[in-house]
Structure 1
């Protein structure tokens, strides 16, 4: 079932991305169209539905300009499974490298976690009721139905309990109210907790079995072993957290979760392949490194084209997964990729380098801007942090100049300058700077705190 977020128009998708990412209008428009096209394909009413393939995107731009953030925010916006891999990882162990199919398995794992979380939310209320009864049983164990009649005084009213059973029930109801009101959170009780499986079953001599088959065999043998539980003495608050997780897992149908997860990964999954320029042939050489890089490209090709991959949750087809590749392409060029792989990324987007003005807006506008993050951190200590406009301009200029003179790492440079600016305050709170204090950052303070950073052209301490 498609959630409401999938119905956003391309314009609305761009508006949502604008809340977190400054600039890069062209890239946002292309990913917005790609996301909307998925909804369009899933609502095609004839046989053409299976023939429509996603237009994979190749993003070209320096580090820190927002390539990964655009892809990650897009996946979050669509509530879609998302995984990021570095293409260079596949060349690290000689020619073979890491199994290229593992990126699809990672995607399915993410999809399972997404669906499982949704299903647990659906059964949360039922799980909470079950857990409440378990906690109540640990506090006041229930009596059996054949409770003995208690002696009653002459003036006893009809409402007073006449049996141990009734007395027990009334006591339990009083304690149930206390549990619901949070009055007993620190009281300790004994609960039975299922022991986690002991890290899988060792397998010797895998032979011709692939990774997926090994995982499935280990899981099957693990499931055949009896489940063990152990008694723990914990607070009611901790017991609730542990037991809700256990009871929710019991209430959901894992077969249904796996089936839905495979469908979601196939139809809405996004795989972000970073550093794809690192597997391009550099300068047209024919050395070992280039052979290895070309080998990785040829391993990637069938997955991007569409193939069937075995995972521990079932078989998945990669035909309709959206692939977004990215690279700086400082040394290699997109044309250095093998032609077949180039053809599988028909949409090319060049991301612009960030300007001084962009840095200013990045500090000021996004919902998750660094200034808002640091303000929230200090607010947790009851310290008010605020930034004047001229301070943000100075921070933006400093970050831009360091990127120009040393190494351009894009918006990540803002982390360096903000850390240098505020570390002293973060250290002094709350020992020297107590609650209700106000810190106002202005241009003079920025210049004073960052003068050492600007003067030191080497900056080896601060280069990420």
Structure 2
């Protein structure tokens, strides 16, 4: 068939249409003008944008320089992680070594391009352990220390091509996006995939799989973990393809459209709740295993996970090639009540610091004594969700304090073991003790509403003493804030005041107790009086 008879290429047609629309100015060019104009630099961006771009370029160079000059030692990484994550000593050791091995190799490849062509087995990691023990937090801290982009996703959100769900290559594209579309920086990032045990093949011995597409996801992830080129635009990303065509139209050359995964570090994790029993059966069937001592049934799950082998993962439902690309394996141990107490007292990222900051935002000092901390840890341990249980317990204890105290004059409170037994009753006691000063707080809120009303509508509302007292009494009786009460009563008030202003040029209005009792009725009287004055003035 001759070229003239070839069917038209729809992408070429689309590109021609976009170029024509750009030429006519029918759609904006997101890449800026072709040449500079008034107030525009030669790059086509305003000076302020150029300054921002310079700052971003400087930050990018600093990150790449840290990667090229990587010199951290495993113990230094471990010490850094100790500041944020309690226990998990073995996991910290393994992760620290793997990170150093990986980025030292990256540094050597950047120094000597010949090393890039040599075979190298990446230190991809698989973390095992229950929820809330710090698996994700460990990796976030590592990525922050090294300074590389970090992407976290759940394996359950992805599917084999052809099934409903996300494409695993989107993880790499997200890495590029987080690196501000800097492909060079993104290719040294970290991808962390949680709940990896949920994509074990269905019908396996571990019965951990979800459906047949789980195997397909493993195969697709395997390609990424080895080394492959990933397109920066997915087949369904029409906008990205349009932008690429417009970039070619602007500059005359195409931007880099793929990213290599050779230096991207992959970490996967999962609870693997059925794996310990599988390992126990294997050990008990071995002459040299636990069965020989008769103690297999008493071994904790955490200890069993430290003895997991590749065959256990394969029996669980993972492809041998997939699990083989995750050579670094470590089990995170569950946290007990003492560990949770240490998190509250020692970790730099303690949830207590977050709650203190929350109350500080309202001008309230929050403290908690040691006995109460121990009790919070004990209750959190009973939740069986690891460190996440700390927030569950604290939210339950402090929700009434957070709801009530910001609207009062109370500026400090302390949580102790007695209050923990009845936090709602403790709040009621605080409010009762604060009742006398609360009226002054409400009085100031009336003044604040008047200022906001003037700022929004240019009308002054002068509340007399009787009006203020009426608002305070209604606020206390209805358990409603002054702001909510005033917005309820005066939400359409400015419309009537605008009519009065047109007739009288009046912009200041006295608010009495009668207005508080029936604002619409009083406003109607004012409007009628203004029109009456207008008619009488016209008669004169």
User: Which residue of the partner structure matches residue 385 of structure 1?
Assistant: 366
Structure 1 residues 93 and 416, CA gap change in structure 2 (3 angstroms): farther
The equivalent residue for 2:197 is 277
Q: Which residue of 1 aligns with 2:388?
A: 412
Q: Distance in 2 between matches of 1:305 and 1:109?
A: 22
2:218 to 273, 297, 313: 297
**Structure 1 segments of 4+ aligned residues over 6 angstroms from their partners:** 285-288
Render the CA deviation track for 1:115-167: whole Å, top value 9, x for unaligned. Answer: xxxxxxxxxxxxxxxxxxxxxxxxxxxxxxxxxxxxxxxxxxxxxxxxxxxxx
1:294/1:423 Cα in 2 relative to 1: closer, same or farther (>3 Å)?
Answer: same
2:416 to 410, 426, 442: 442
How big is each residue's C-alpha offset from its partner over 1:78-109, in whole Å with a ceiling of 9 and x where there is no partner? 11011112111113997463212111111111
Point out where structure 2 has 5 or more consecutive residues left out of the alignment. 1-63, 234-255, 276-311, 426-540
- For residues 86 and 375 of structure 1, the distance between their equivalents in structure 2, rounded to whole angstroms, comes to 31
2:264 to 304, 308, 321: 321
Q: Could you tell me whether the CA contact under 8 Å between 1:91 and 1:292 is conserved in 2?
A: yes
Shift, 1:314, TM fit: 2.5
Which deviates more from structure 2 when the two are superposed, residues 79-88 or residues 310-319? 310-319
Shift of 1:274: 0.8
Q: Which residue of 1 aligns with 2:105?
A: 41
Cα deviation for residue 430 of structure 1 reads: 2.7
- Alignment match, 2:28: none
Residue 100 of structure 1 corresponds to which residue in structure 2?
168
Per-residue CA deviations over 1:299-335 (Å, capped at 9, x if unaligned) read: 2111111111110462111122100000011136633
**Aligned partner of 2:313 among 334, 350, 353:** 334
Worse-superposed segment, 40-49 or 316-325:
40-49
Whole-angstrom distance in 2 between the partners of 1:66 and 1:107: 22
Matches within 5 A, 1:240-259: none
TM-score, normalization by structure 1: 0.59
Q: What SS class does the counterpart of residue 91 from structure 1 fall into?
A: coil
Alignment RMSD: 2.6
Give the direction of change, closer, same or farther, for the CA distance of 1:14–1:105 in structure 2 (3 Å limit).
same
Cα pair 2:202 2:214 within 8 Å, conserved = no
Q: For residues 37 and 450 of structure 1, do their structure 2 counterparts lie closer, same or farther at Cα, with a shift above 3 Å needed?
A: farther
Residue in 1 that maps onto 2:332: 351
Which residue is 1:374 aligned to? 355
Which of 135, 140, 147 is the aligned partner of 1:79? 147
Counterpart-to-counterpart distance in 1, 2:94 and 2:424: 38
Query: Is 1:264 paired with 2:185?
Result: yes
Report the 3-state secondary structure (helix = DSSP H, G, I; strand = E; otherwise coil) of the residue aligned with 2:179: helix
Structure 1 runs not aligned, ≥5 long: 113-257, 452-464
Distance 1:433 1:3, change over 3 A: same
The 1:62–1:450 alpha-carbon spacing in structure 2 relative to 1, beyond 3 Å, is: farther
Q: Whole-Å Cα distance in 2 between the matches of residues 288 and 444 of structure 1? A: 47
From the superposition, tell whether residues 32 and 450 of structure 1 become closer, same or farther in structure 2 (CA, over 3 Å). Answer: farther
Are 1:277 and 1:334, in contact at CA under 8 Å, matched by a contact in 2? no
Aligned equivalents of 1:443 and 1:83: distance in 2?
40
Query: In 2 relative to 1, CA 3–389 (structure 1 residues): closer, same or farther, beyond 3 Å?
Result: same
Distance 1:34 1:422, change over 3 A: same
* Partner of residue 3, structure 1: 66
State how far apart, in whole Å, the 2-side matches of 1:53 and 1:357 are.
Answer: 39
- 1:198-237 deviation per Cα after TM superposition (whole angstroms, max 9, x unaligned): xxxxxxxxxxxxxxxxxxxxxxxxxxxxxxxxxxxxxxxx
1:166 matched residue in structure 2: none
Q: 1:430 to 1:12 in 2, by over 3 A?
A: same
Shift of 1:269: 0.8
Between Structure 1 and Structure 2, how many residues are aligned?
A: 296
Greater RCO (CA < 8 Å, at least 6 residues apart): 1
Task: Note if contact 1:417-1:450 (Cα within 8 Å) is conserved in structure 2.
Answer: no
Contact 2:129 2:334 in 1 (8 A): yes
TM-score (normalised: structure 2): 0.51
State the Cα deviation string for residues 2-56 of structure 1 (Å, max 9, x = none): 2289433221211211221111111112222222223321332553344334210
User: For 1:7, what is the secondary structure of its paired residue?
Assistant: coil
Query: CA separation in 2, counterparts of 1:8 and 1:97?
Result: 39
